[in-house]
């Protein structure tokens, strides 16, 4: 998730852009850049690090003109380097059109476009997908910046919010949106563009939300909005009355809730460009160079901490079930110290949202020291773990700011599902089965959106509030939903400080059942189409017989569950292999609303840090 800001007006452009970038920094920062033009020159400056690093780098440089743009980057394609930072420009020698482009999103067909443009003599200087947009606009130069951008956009596949300025049209800023947010700010004789209103909220609160497939042309005289086929669009200006802090959180009170609600989007980003429905296979470019080794693997060790470890457990079920490769899942803190055995044919898969967790990093280094093939699944591009693994796959979940991990968990499971299909297809899983799973995976974001609808959320909130004063919870699940029970318990304890234990449902009778009484609710994942459903119902009977209360996570079709469970958290029906992608969400919300009710500090729970870089 990157941040974009653009400005057309009489204020000091540099100051407006830098202020906007500071306000967008919450969206992620590994590098940033600014571009302005007065028609004589196009000044583009970039720096690695935070916006304050960019400010230092541009000290003493003058930024001419009354039009400009800025970008704060959270890397998706290419490492964190000045060359990969935005804005991007086309060929330095061009006489046609000198543009600067800032982009948020992922261009899926950039490799194809890059190859075509290289054949035409374009020279690329970065590893990003964005740079192709600048070259493409240059290629389409035809006497109008707007028309050149419009032609270029028609060639792009993927998600984008872009802003374009050019030396040749110093009074024109073009912006466009497809699946990445973009907002137009309307001031008095001045206009702003931003990834969200926080980019310009101190200047104007009058906004127009640009929609997918729309292109905006801004000049000092005004703005026009049209569709990519040139159909004009008229849209009313709306006034926002949120404060800047709330806008950064997209109107939410807490990042955690924002990130819970982002899951349809982040899950889609995790699978974007990685599903090959026709062949019933997954395409994971980050590990493509290791496909031969992967096809003859004998064993996989997954190592991680916390929520990432729980995702690893889901991965164990998936890989063993689909690819029939034996998998072990180890806490990284244990793995690193217990002389693990890594024979030839073993791959070690490390999972980390931050890519900086000290124990996971040490486990990775131990695996490498022993000569193992080490693969990674990380969110933060260019993080230490991402750099040190032999190959890896990124989550593309955008920055996760709330300390309690939510969207990273579902993105990790999405990537693990893709990896399982890839491994399984090289071991004889049929194309039809691959297609069936991948189609169902592609439907998950929509199912999540449905699950997160307001009525369902209100129902979950009510249940959470009714139980917020309890001191102990038991979370139970079986099969692939056992790790989700662990994750649900972790969410509750870390943000609400309520004691919660996660167990495989059948294990309960070997000890935890002694705790059950009227005061301790049990949260049980009980999906009617799960072959283990009858067994889970028996586990429920055991709880009821001891006077315990049950909160069930059940599918919408299950009309019987209320006979056993006092409260029900409803989820849509999806194949059992993919069910953690829906069952995790009500448990995240249950924890969130219990913590809100208890007045807890949601985004920074006590004693916890987002990235545990110490042992």
- In the list 37, 266, 267, 353, the residue contacting ligand F6R (rule: CB under 6 A) is 353
Is the Cβ–Cβ distance between 316 and 302 less than 8 Å?
yes
The percent of the chain in helix, strand and coil, each rounded to the nearest 5, is: 40, 25, 35
To the query of whether residue 610 is one of the catalytic residues in this protein, the response is yes
User: What does the radius of gyration of the chain's CA atoms come to, in whole angstroms?
Assistant: 25
Of 377-406, binders to ligand F6R (CB under 6 A) are 404-405
Measured from the CB atom, is 200 or 475 closer to ligand F6R?
A: 475
Residue 410 tokens, joined: 């579902």
- In the list 305, 463, 551, 576, the residue contacting ligand F6R (rule: CB under 6 A) is 305
Rule CB under 6 A: say whether 312 interacts with ligand F6R.
no
Rule CB under 6 A: say whether 352 interacts with ligand F6R.
yes
DSSP state letters, 440-470: HHHHHHHHHHHHTSHHHHHHHHHHHHHHTT-
How far from chain centre, in Å, is Cα 46? 25
Measured from the CB atom, is 25 or 487 closer to ligand F6R?
A: 487
Taking CB under 6 A as the binding criterion, the range among 91-99, 347-355, 507-515, 531-539 that sits at the site for ligand F6R is 347-355
Measured from the CB atom, is 195 or 360 closer to ligand F6R?
A: 360
Measured from the CB atom, is 312 or 434 closer to ligand F6R?
A: 312
Contact flags string 230-269 toward ligand F6R, x per CB under 6 A: ----------------------------------------
Query: For residue 421, which of 565, 321, 539 has the smallest C-alpha distance?
Result: 321
Measured from the CB atom, is 332 or 526 closer to ligand F6R?
A: 332
| Angstrom distance (rounded) from CA 551 to CA 565 | 6
Minimum distance, C-beta of residue 353 to ligand F6R, in the bound complex (Å): 3
Degrees, nearest 5: CA angle 248-254-259? 80
Minimum distance, C-beta of residue 397 to ligand F6R, in the bound complex (Å): 11
To the query of whether residue 462 is one of the catalytic residues in this protein, the response is no
Taking CB under 6 A as the binding criterion, the range among 273-281, 306-314, 524-532, 582-590 that sits at the site for ligand F6R is 306-314
Rule CB under 6 A: say whether 357 interacts with ligand F6R.
yes
Minimum distance, C-beta of residue 487 to ligand F6R, in the bound complex (Å): 8
Measured from the CB atom, is 248 or 494 closer to ligand F6R?
A: 494
Rule CB under 6 A: say whether 308 interacts with ligand F6R.
yes
Measured from the CB atom, is 195 or 405 closer to ligand F6R?
A: 405
| Burial profile 211-237: b = 16 or more Cβ within 10 angstroms, e = fewer | eebbbbbbeeeebebbeeeeeeeeeee
Minimum distance, C-beta of residue 320 to ligand F6R, in the bound complex (Å): 22
The full 3-state SS of 123-172, as one line of letters, equals: CCCCCCCCHHHHHHHHHCCCCCHHHHHHHHHHHCCEEEEEEEEECCCCCC
Strands 373-378 and 391-394, how do they pair?
A: parallel
Instruction: Report the residue closest to ligand F6R, judged by CB.
Output: 306
Taking CB under 6 A as the binding criterion, the range among 216-224, 349-357, 518-526, 551-559 that sits at the site for ligand F6R is 349-357
Rule CB under 6 A: say whether 307 interacts with ligand F6R.
yes
- In the list 259, 494, 549, 558, the residue contacting ligand F6R (rule: CB under 6 A) is 494
Residue 351 tokens, joined: 């999972």
Measured from the CB atom, is 101 or 349 closer to ligand F6R?
A: 349
Residues 6+ apart with CB under 8 A from 193: 4, 5, 6, 7, 69, 163, 173, 175, 182, 183, 184, 185, 199, 216, 218
Taking CB under 6 A as the binding criterion, the range among 21-29, 276-284, 346-354, 413-421 that sits at the site for ligand F6R is 346-354
**3-state DSSP call for residue 563?**
helix
Residue 121 tokens, joined: 């003599």
The backbone torsions φ and ψ at residue 402, rounded to the nearest 5 degrees and listed phi first, read -55, 135
> How many residues bind to ligand F6R according to rule CB under 6 A?
15
Measured from the CB atom, is 217 or 407 closer to ligand F6R?
A: 407
Minimum distance, C-beta of residue 350 to ligand F6R, in the bound complex (Å): 9
With residue 415 as reference, give the H or E element that holds it.
helix 407-425
Measured from the CB atom, is 81 or 611 closer to ligand F6R?
A: 611
Rule CB under 6 A: say whether 210 interacts with ligand F6R.
no
Taking CB under 6 A as the binding criterion, the range among 70-78, 182-190, 217-225, 353-361 that sits at the site for ligand F6R is 353-361
Of 404-423, binders to ligand F6R (CB under 6 A) are 404-405
Measured from the CB atom, is 481 or 539 closer to ligand F6R?
A: 481
| Angstrom distance (rounded) from CA 460 to CA 182 | 31
| Angstrom distance (rounded) from CA 304 to CA 294 | 20
Minimum distance, C-beta of residue 555 to ligand F6R, in the bound complex (Å): 26
Rule CB under 6 A: say whether 333 interacts with ligand F6R.
no
Rule CB under 6 A: say whether 306 interacts with ligand F6R.
yes
Instruction: For residue 176, list its beta bridge partners.
Output: 162, 215
| Angstrom distance (rounded) from CA 73 to CA 32 | 6
The backbone torsions φ and ψ at residue 408, rounded to the nearest 5 degrees and listed phi first, read -65, -35
Strands 3-8 and 183-186, how do they pair?
A: unpaired
Minimum distance, C-beta of residue 454 to ligand F6R, in the bound complex (Å): 25
Give the full edge-to-edge strand order of the sheet including 214-219. Answer: 88-89, 99-107, 158-166, 173-178, 214-219, 222-227, 232-233
Instruction: For residue 567, list its beta bridge partners.
Output: 551
Taking CB under 6 A as the binding criterion, the range among 115-123, 158-166, 301-309, 525-533 that sits at the site for ligand F6R is 301-309
Minimum distance, C-beta of residue 410 to ligand F6R, in the bound complex (Å): 13
Taking CB under 6 A as the binding criterion, the range among 86-94, 266-274, 352-360, 536-544 that sits at the site for ligand F6R is 352-360
- In the list 360, 496, 579, 583, the residue contacting ligand F6R (rule: CB under 6 A) is 360
Residue numbers at the binding site for ligand F6R (CB under 6 A):
305-308, 352-354, 357, 360, 404-405, 490, 494, 611-612
Active site members: 2, 610
């Amino acid at each position: 998730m990157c941040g974009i800001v653009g400005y057309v007006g009489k204020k000091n452009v540099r100051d407006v852009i830098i202020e906007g970038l500071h306000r967008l920094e919450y969206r992620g920062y590994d590098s940033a850049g600014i571009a302005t033009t007065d028609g004589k020159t196009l000044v583009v400056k970039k720096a690695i690090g935070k916006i304050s690093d960019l400010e230092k780098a541009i000290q003493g440089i003058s930024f001419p003109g009354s039009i400009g743009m800025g970008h704060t980057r959270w890397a998706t394609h290419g490492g964190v380097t000045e060359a990969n930072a935005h804005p991007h420009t086309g060929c330095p020698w061009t006489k046609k059109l000198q543009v600067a482009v800032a982009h948020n999103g992922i261009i899926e067909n950039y490799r194809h476009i890059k190859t075509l443009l290289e054949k035409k003599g374009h020279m690329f200087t970065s590893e990003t997908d964005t740079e192709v947009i600048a070259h493409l606009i240059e290629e389409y130069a035809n006497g109008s910046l707007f028309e050149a951008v419009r032609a270029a956009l028609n060639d792009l596949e993927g998600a984008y919010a872009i802003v374009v300025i050019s030396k040749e049209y110093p009074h024109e800023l073009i912006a466009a949106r497809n699946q990445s947010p973009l907002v137009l700010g309307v001031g008095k004789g001045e206009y702003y563009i931003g990834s969200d209103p926080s980019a310009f909220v101190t200047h104007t609160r009058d906004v127009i939300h640009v929609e997918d497939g729309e292109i905006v042309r801004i000049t000092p005289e005004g703005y026009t909005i049209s569709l990519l086929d040139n159909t004009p669009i008229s849209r009313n200006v709306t006034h926002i009355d949120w404060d800047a802090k709330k806008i950064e959180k997209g109107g939410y009170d807490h990042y955690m809730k924002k990130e819970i609600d982002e899951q349809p989007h982040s899950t889609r980003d995790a699978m974007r460009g990685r599903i090959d429905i026709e062949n019933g296979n997954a395409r994971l470019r980050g590990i493509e160079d290791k496909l031969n080794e992967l096809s003859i693997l004998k064993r996989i060790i997954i190592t991680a901490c916390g929520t990432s470890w729980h995702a690893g457990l889901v991965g164990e079920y998936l890989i063993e079930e689909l690819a029939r490769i034996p998998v072990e899942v180890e806490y990284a803190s244990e793995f690193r110290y217990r002389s693990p055995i890594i024979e030839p044919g073993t791959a070690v898969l490390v999972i980390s949202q931050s890519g900086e967790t000290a124990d996971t990093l040490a486990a990775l280094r131990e695996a490498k020291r022993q000569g193992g093939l080490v693969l990674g699944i990380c969110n933060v591009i260019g993080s230490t773990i991402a750099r040190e693994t032999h190959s890896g796959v990124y989550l593309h979940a955008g920055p996760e700011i709330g300390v309690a991990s939510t969207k990273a968990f579902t993105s990790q499971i999405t990537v693990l599902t893709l990896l399982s299909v890839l491994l399984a297809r090289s071991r004889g899983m049929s194309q039809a089965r691959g297609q069936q799973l991948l189609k169902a995976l592609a439907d998950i974001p929509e199912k999540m959106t449905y699950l997160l609808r307001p009525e369902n959320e209100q129902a979950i909130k009510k249940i959470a509030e009714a139980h917020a004063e309890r001191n102990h919870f038991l979370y139970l699940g079986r099969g692939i939903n056992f790790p989700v029970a662990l994750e649900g318990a972790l969410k509750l304890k870390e943000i609400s400080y309520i004691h919660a234990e996660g167990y495989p449902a059948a294990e309960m009778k070997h000890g935890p059942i002694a705790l059950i009484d009227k005061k301790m609710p049990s949260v049980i994942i009980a999906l009617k189409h799960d072959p283990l459903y009858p067994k889970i119902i028996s586990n429920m009977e055991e709880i009821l017989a001891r006077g315990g209360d049950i909160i069930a996570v059940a599918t919408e079709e299950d009309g019987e569950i209320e006979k056993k469970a006092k409260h029900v958290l409803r989820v849509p029906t999806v194949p059992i292999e993919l069910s953690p992608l829906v069952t995790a969400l009500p448990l995240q919300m249950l924890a969130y609303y219990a913590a809100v009710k208890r007045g807890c500090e949601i985004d920074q729970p006590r004693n916890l840090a987002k990235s545990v870089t110490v042992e």
